[in-house]
Structure 1
C-alpha cells in the first residue's frame, strides 16, 4: 500500500467560506496509522477525513461544517459526483484520486 492517499476536495454553496474561500484543493493524506496511531487498520474513511479536515483546513466556525463526528445537516457530500449515502457515508473507504465534494445547501435569509 502506498504511504500517501491523494484526493481532491471541493467546497461549494458557501462552504468554501469556512476554508479560506478556496473551492478546490488537491491533498495528500499520510498513512492512517501515522496520523491516528491507534487506528486498527490503515484504511482512510470519510470519518477520518473529516477529522483531518477539521485539524488541517477548517479556518473558522467549525459548527457550520461539523456536528459531532459528521457533517452538519444541510451539507451535501458527494463522492466522485454521487451522493455519499450510496457508499455508506462516514464508513466509505477512500480510494486514491477520489473527488470528495461538500456543498452547503443552507442559505441565510
Structure 2
C-alpha cells in the first residue's frame, strides 16, 4: 500500500462473479485520486473494476450510466450504500465493498 492507492476488499455475489472469471473476492489497490484529482469514490471503483478486473465483455451487466446498474445491491462495510452517499461515497483504506445482483433471468 502506498499513499497513492487505497487497498480494498471487493466481494461479488448473486451471479456477478461470473463477470469476473468466477472470482468471488478481489483485493484491489485503487488509485486514491480520480483523474480530476478528487478522492476516489464508488463510481470510480465501478469503472476501475470494469476496465482492470472484469473478464466478461458484457460491461452493461455491471455498469450503466457511470454507476452500478439497477438491480445490484451495494454494501459498504456491511451498510447499504444508500446510507453512505451511494456512488459519491469516498473510499477509505480497507473498506469492504459487496456487490450483489438481485436480478434473475426468467
- TM superposition score normalised by structure 1: 0.89
Cα-Cα RMSD: 1.4
Residue deviations 1:11-58 (CA, integer Å, cap 9, x gap): 00101000000000111123425xx2xx133x1101111111111012
Contact 2:31 2:40 in 1 (8 A): no
Instruction: State the match for 1:45 in structure 2.
Output: 41
Matches within 5 A, 1:1-109: 2-32=3-33, 36=35, 39-41=36-38, 43-60=39-56, 61-109=58-106
Q: Structure 2: where are the runs of 5+ without partners?
A: none
Q: What secondary structure does 2:26 align onto? A: strand
Q: What secondary structure does 1:90 align onto? A: helix
Could you list the structure 1 runs, at least 4 aligned residues long, displaced by more than 4 angstroms after superposition.
Answer: none
Residue deviations 1:36-83 (CA, integer Å, cap 9, x gap): 2xx133x11011111111110122211111111011111000000110
